[in-house]
Amino acid sequence: MEVEVTVADPFAVGADLVAATGRRAVALGAPERAVRDADPVAMVYTDAAPLAVVALGPDGLRTAAAQAVRSCRDGGTVAWAIDPTLPLEEQVRALAEGAVLGGYDRRRWRSGEPPRGVERFVICGADLAAVAERAALVARWTNTARELVDGPPNLISPDGLAERAAALPRIRCETLDATEAGLGALAAVGGSSPIRPRLVVLRHEPPGAPESPRLSFVGKSVTFDTGGYFLKPQSDIVRQKADMGGGAAVVGAMGAIAELGLPVSVTGVLPICENMLSGSAIRPTDVITTAAGLTVEVTNPDAEGRLILADALWWTRRDGATHVVDLATLTGAMRAGLGDMYAGVFANDDAWRDAVVDAGNASGDLAWPWPLHPRYRTLIDSTVADLRNTAGKTFGFPIVAATFLQQFAGDGPWAHVDMLGTAMLDEDRGDAFGRGATGYGVRMLVELAARLSDAASS
């Protein structure tokens, strides 16, 4: 979808649908009644083009723009009449983002011709093209992440996901075989599948970027998580194609950061595998050796995310990362606690945790701080190995998982985003996303990288 900005009249840009909210819709000729009845859209037929009166949803104009795009079933051009009494820049940003997010086609795996969709979204009444372009760009990459998460696990398999990552424009990509690279935990989890586990490394290294910071974004990329020998119940297993949501966020963010040409070095790291049930799957009570050299007693083969992330975190530190963020659909308890709105953020450094949380909240990927404490460490003491991968208690699951990761995160700033609730929506929250994958994390990571590159170059 092309997003344009013009000072022209909304009825003068050849639109198939003109859309506006509240007072602005009334000024364009909509009756007061239409504003009251919009749920979330009320159509008014004018001589020029149909006028969609859109209610302001919970996420304001972002949701409204997405609703306007969705209500234009036959596609074509939507003109949005902006409200001159509201702050312009914020308005343009929200509209551009909402329009692109609203244009996402969740049913793209159907056969036959794809629906035409909205081709042009013209924001009328401003001249802030650069603002709109940036917001649309990030939203398009958010949609790329959504497509990967919504994609079926037979197609977005370890091979499929690695191919999609390798095809990113402007990014250098290497793929390491887990066993050859000495990534023992990734090899052990992924050994359950005939499709081999691997570490995909994506690099954005613009010429002239400062030596420090060197950012690293690590994304859990389990393309399907059966739970292994702790097989998941039907109600949970059907959601597990989304278990690469962290990796999808990293792919989307790297794509956006490279397209924006942000002047900072960023590495994306994807430990990719499937957690399957087979003769070569890990057994409960197996002891495996991680890349860091620490041994882990696998008390629960369904706590596989922390195992593969352990190797990826260790690898990226050794590779020279100064600031690390990992994103993962890690614990069901995070969703039980925070619902589908917020992700939880842990860190070994308060300033870095705040930077991640602030970037998330400013970008629309809502985030909330969670605690770590050295005394949680005893929960993962093993009687046979250096660590166990679960505590075997009935409490504290997200914190235990984060404490496990912390053992592999090295000394510099590291943050962990447990995005289980926000990655995939069972129900429409009434915002720009509807049901299904949200691409959570793309906007957060791009905002974080932009803020760091601003700070480094000033």
The distance of closest approach from Cβ of residue 185 to ligand BES in the complex, given in angstroms and rounded to an integer, is: 13
Q: Is 326 in the site for Zn ion (CB under 5 A)?
A: no
* CA–CA dist 96, 93 (Å, integer): 5
10 Å CB burial of residue 110 (0-12, 13-18, 19+) is: exposed
Q: Per CB under 6 A, which region of 56-64, 262-270, 331-339, 358-366 contacts ligand BES?
A: 331-339
Q: Is 306 a catalytic residue?
A: yes
**According to CB under 6 A, which one of 59, 302, 326, 431 is a site residue for ligand BES?**
302
Q: Is 243 in the site for Zn ion (CB under 5 A)?
A: yes
Question: What angle in degrees, to the nearest 10, is found between the helix axes of 158-166 and 245-260?
Answer: 10
Write out the two tokens for 132: 């709109």
The distance of closest approach from Cβ of residue 399 to ligand BES in the complex, given in angstroms and rounded to an integer, is: 11
Closest to ligand BES by CB, 135 or 249: 249
Strand partners, 78: 17, 121
Q: Is 241 a catalytic residue?
A: no
Total residues in contact with ligand BES, by rule CB under 6 A = 18
Nearest to 64 by CA among 87, 88, 38: 38
**According to CB under 5 A, which one of 57, 305, 344, 421 is a site residue for Zn ion?**
305
- The full DSSP string for 16-65 is SEEEE-HHHHHHTT--HHHHHH-SSEEEEE-SSSEEEEE--BTTBHHHHH
Q: Per CB under 6 A, which region of 5-13, 44-52, 300-308, 379-387 contacts ligand BES?
A: 300-308
The distance of closest approach from Cβ of residue 443 to ligand BES in the complex, given in angstroms and rounded to an integer, is: 21
Q: Under rule CB under 6 A, which residues in 407-426 are in contact with ligand BES?
A: 420
The distance of closest approach from Cβ of residue 226 to Zn ion in the complex, given in angstroms and rounded to an integer, is: 8
The distance of closest approach from Cβ of residue 361 to ligand BES in the complex, given in angstroms and rounded to an integer, is: 23
Q: Under rule CB under 5 A, which residues in 220-239 are in contact with Zn ion?
A: 222, 225
Write out the two tokens for 441: 């994390």
The distance of closest approach from Cβ of residue 236 to ligand BES in the complex, given in angstroms and rounded to an integer, is: 5
Closest to ligand BES by CB, 290 or 331: 331
10 Å CB burial of residue 438 (0-12, 13-18, 19+) is: buried
Q: Is 332 in the site for ligand BES (CB under 6 A)?
A: yes
Closest to ligand BES by CB, 240 or 316: 240
Closest to Zn ion by CB, 136 or 330: 330
Q: Among the options 23, 70, 232, 451, which is catalytic?
A: 232
Q: Among the options 62, 140, 241, 306, which is catalytic?
A: 306
Write out the two tokens for 27: 């000024």
Q: Is 248 in the site for ligand BES (CB under 6 A)?
A: no
Q: Per CB under 5 A, which region of 108-116, 149-157, 252-260, 300-308 contacts Zn ion?
A: 300-308
Spatial contact of 421 and 333, defined as CB atoms under 8 Å apart: no
Total residues in contact with Zn ion, by rule CB under 5 A = 6
**According to CB under 6 A, which one of 225, 274, 326, 340 is a site residue for ligand BES?**
225
* CA–CA dist 149, 179 (Å, integer): 26
| Farthest-apart Cα atoms in the chain, separation | 78
Q: How many Cα neighbours within 13 Å face the side chain of 206?
A: 18
Spatial contact of 247 and 423, defined as CB atoms under 8 Å apart: no
Q: Is 404 in the site for ligand BES (CB under 6 A)?
A: no
Nearest to 243 by CA among 182, 320, 305, 306: 305
* CA–CA dist 291, 413 (Å, integer): 20
Q: Is 274 in the site for Zn ion (CB under 5 A)?
A: no
Closest to Zn ion by CB, 83 or 304: 304
CA distances for 170 relative to 71, 141, 268, 441, angstroms: 35, 14, 13, 20
Q: Which residues bind ligand BES (CB under 6 A)?
A: 225, 236, 239-240, 242-243, 300, 302-305, 329, 331-333, 390, 397, 420
List, by residue number, the catalytic residues.
232, 306
Q: Which residues bind Zn ion (CB under 5 A)?
A: 222, 225, 243, 302, 304-305
